[in-house]
Amino acid sequence: MRQTGQVPRYARPANSDYAEDPINALGNVMQATIIGVLRKNPGLTRAEIAEAIELPKMTIANGLEKLIDAGLIIADPPREVAVRGQRVRYSVDDARVTEMVMRLEQVLGEF
């Protein structure tokens, strides 16, 4: 118990920030599946990814946004310059995905 007498809502181990990014980016089955699909088939559109994974396009759109924000997926053209209705193709930033996986492995004690 803390000196204030309150129990913390959740415990955070030392260096947990190092693991948080990979867990947030890769810890979701849908997001991990999107990465896997794009690694095998780079340059797919949101509709093509949705068809491959058999999920609604809006669900895929939400996952893609999180992956782009994490720097794991690259949109072409980038969302800052894409025009509404324009086909955007997606690919994996393999170096960034590898970095995230390695960080997670280090936290899990694999290295």
Task: Let me know: does 71 contact 93? Beta carbons within 8 Å.
Answer: yes
Beta bridge pairs of residue 76: 89
pLDDT digit string (tens) for 44-100? 999 999 999 999 999 999 999 999 998 999 999 998 888 888 899 999 999 999 988
Q: What is the rounded distance in angstroms from the CA atom of residue 80 to the CA atom of residue 85?
A: 14
Domains of the chain: 16-108 (1.10.10.10)
Q: pLDDT-derived band of residue 1, with 50, 70 and 90 as boundaries? A: very low
**CA angle at residue 76 from 41 to 84, to 5 degrees?**
120
pTM: 0.76
